Chain A
Amino acid sequence: MSRWRAGPGGHWPQLGFGVGLRAEHYEDVVGAALADGQATDGQASGATSSGRSAVEVDWFEAISENYMETAGRPLAILEAVRRDYPVALHGVSLSIGSSDPLDVDYLKKLSALVDRIEPAIVSDHLCWSSFGGRQLYDLLPLPLTEEVLDHVVSRVREVQDRLGRRILLENPSTYLAWECTNIPEAEFLTRLAELADCGLLLDVNNVHVTSTNMGLDPYAYIDAIAPGRVGQIHLAGFEQRDGYLFDTHSQPVSEEVWALYRHALRHVGPCTTMVEWDADIPPWSVLAEEVERARHFAQAFVRPDHQSTARTATYEDPHGISDPR
């Protein structure tokens, strides 16, 4: 039996405006001593707020898999960051839509990392990334049908039971669909969130990329998402390829996506937001400008009593978005 109470969504932590934690910015975030590997005996010397420089973000998102099988510098940096900031753990390998059994070993490692880091948010993607025990290292599209919805709902419940908390699932960028799909993606996500009592990570760039690639209306897509289920928003850049948009996270956020973000804020309300930049990573100052732009747009839609105060490492619920048993 599920530990999770059926009920309305919402009550997501308001973390403010963050970025993905990437090795290229370790020094900007935790200071030179730790970033250069000069700390000794596993102690994170220099990993204090006094060692930071120019950090103008409220929180960080870390790729879960990068910290599951390491005991070296990456984990020490994540722990140092966590001492000063809220952290979200964002996975790419849960493979929630695979027809394989859930990977129990993966879930144990994720659970151990969650216990160690105490993230505000745990998320992954609506996709499949493994089949027959083989990893495919991609976020592959699912056929969106009633049968698959039931399948994913039951797996999300099981994951949440194992982790002891709710997760968020992100809409992926897609380049093609399955012929048998008969539920629009936004409707699928909303029904999934309601039935499994999970949250949604609304990637506005992915909405733009998918909608352009598949001939959809991105504004209608966002309007079909249940606003109370959205616990986080992603922003990122894409590249124009021959006949489609490619989700590269290698560019500034496009003007089309900024416009869509403003629309999403009107629909969702104040929402934890982060900027992803994973390839051709720019200097910290460039990333910080993108974050400031998101903050600027958001402030126009947020009432003063709802503005984020999450510039510290603490927040009301140390276990994030989990409900009590």
Chain B
Amino acid sequence: MESPTLAELQQSLSTRILDANVQGSSVPRFDDGLEHHLAAPDAADLSSRLGVYTTGYPARIREAVSEAFPAIAIIVGDGSLGAMLERYRPHVATGWCNLNSIGERLPTFLETDRLSEELPFLPDLAQLEWRVFESFHASIGEPADLGFASDWELSDWERARIRFQPGVAIVSSAWPIHDLRAARECERSAIEIELVGRPQSVWVYRQGFEVVTEPLDEFEALATHGLVAGRTLGDVMGQLESAGADAGSVLELFSRFAALGVIEGCDREP
């Protein structure tokens, strides 16, 4: 009998590692006799030795997810987190070696996961934690020098679009996600947050190397969503007026953004 090739052996072990960690997997094994190709000093040890590799894979995914989603990990608790990650593993994009990216699809996954039936705020909380994670790793350029706009008329400002630093994001939810995120610093048993009727929008940005999260009121959130999406200040002012808010507050927000240095540039539509 010919010796198996390197690719065959690697397919066999990698399938075992991945297959062992997918609930109800029907992935066919290349070689159900993997153990015949493996050796350990004491044959009785082989399954426990193989277990070092098959259990290492989910452990690393769990560690990476817990690091990027600390509030989710605390709120969900150890047992449910493990079960949820077993369901999440087939959704993981495994092409890139950076374990940090393993949580990228978790917010979307949670939208339909059964755990969210019990804890319906999980997808939005995961979205917020992922935005914080992305902001932490984002680059920071020089804040825009807005001196060029000192002679702009109101009509110029209405045609302006803001380019934000890459670390800026806004997440809105029907749930108090800012307060829920604070649970990452609590003991699980000490978490007590009123959930009903407390929608929150959270603005995420960087100050130096620190990621800042700040809850916004309804109209600030409406304006910030529009500006982050690349709408002109005039469009956003119109939105605010339609919503019954003071359109001038957009310019106040702009000044606040400029003072915080989160504006990378500002372009005027022709």
On A, residues with C-beta under 8 Å from B are 34, 36-42, 65-66, 68-74, 76, 92-93, 95, 97-99, 103, 106, 128-138, 140, 142-143, 147-148, 151, 175-181, 213-215, 241-244, 246
Query: Which B residue's beta carbon lies closest to that of A129?
Result: B97
**B204: interface (CB < 8 Å):** no
- Asked if B13 is at the interface of the complex by the 8 Å CB criterion, the answer is yes
Further 12 A-B residue pairs, CB within 8 A, beyond A72-B167, A72-B206, A244-B49: A38-B208, A40-B207, A41-B208, A68-B98, A73-B209, A92-B97, A99-B7, A106-B97, A140-B13, A213-B41, A214-B41, A243-B45
How many angstroms between the C-alpha atoms of A320 and B17 in the bound complex?
Answer: 37
A179 & B39 in contact (Cβ 8 Å cutoff): yes
Task: Check if B143 sits within 8 Å of A41, measured CB to CB.
Answer: yes
Q: Nearest chain-B residue to A45 (Cβ)?
A: B208
B38 touches A131 (CB 8 A): no
A39 CB contact (under 8 Å) in B13, B100, B143, B209: B209
Closest beta carbon of chain B to A193's beta carbon, Å: 20
Q: Are B97 and A93 in contact (CB under 8 A)?
A: yes
Q: Could you mark each residue 86-106 of chain B with 1 if its beta carbon is under 8 Å from any beta carbon of chain A, else 0?
A: 000000001111111100000
Are the CB atoms of A178 and B9 closer together than 8 Å? Answer: yes
Contacting B209 at CB < 8 Å: which of A72, A138, A147, A181? A72
User: In the complex, A98 Cα to B7 Cα: how many Å?
Assistant: 8
Chain A's nearest CB lies how many Å from the CB of B98? 5
Would you call B136 an interface residue if the criterion is a C-beta within 8 Å of the partner chain's C-beta atoms?
Answer: yes
Also in contact, A39 and B37, with CB within 8 A (given A99-B5, A175-B53): no
Contact B53 A138 (CB under 8 A): yes
Q: Cα distance A176–B38 when bound, in Å?
A: 7
Let me know if B66 is at the binding interface, CB within 8 A. no
> Which of chain B's residues have a CB closer than 8 A to the CB of A177?
38-40
- The bracket for how many chain B residues form the interface is 35 or more
A176 CA to B17 CA in the complex, in Å? 14
Q: Let me know if B14 and A73 touch, CB within 8 A.
A: no
Contacts of B202 in A (CB 8 A): none
**Residues of B contacting A34 in the complex (Cβ-Cβ under 8 angstroms):** 209
B53 A143 Cβ-Cβ under 8 A: no
Residues of A within 8 A of B138 (CB): 71-72
- A42/B38 contact (C-beta < 8 A), A135-B95, A176-B49 known: no
| B81 at interface by CB-CB < 8 Å | no
Q: CA–CA, A133 to B96, complex, Å?
A: 9
The 8 A CB mask of B119-138 against A (1 = contact, 0 = none) is 00000000000000001111
Is the CB–CB distance between B14 and A136 below 8 Å?
yes
Report yes or no: B6 in contact with A99, Cβ–Cβ below 8 A: yes
B94 touches A76 (CB 8 A): no
A37 and B210 form a contact (CB under 8 A):
yes
Evaluate contact between A131 and B10: CB separation under 8 angstroms.
yes
The verdict on B46 contacting chain A, using a C-beta distance below 8 Å, is yes
Residues of B within 8 A of A242 (CB): 48
> A214 to chain B: which residues have CB within 8 Å?
40-41
Q: Would you call B76 an interface residue if the criterion is a C-beta within 8 Å of the partner chain's C-beta atoms?
A: no
Interface residues of B in 1-22 (CB under 8 A from A): 3-7, 9-11, 13-14, 17-18
For residue B60, which residues in chain A have a CB less than 8 angstroms away from its CB? 137-138
CB distance from B28 to the nearest CB of A (A): 14
A292 to B159, CA, bound (A): 64
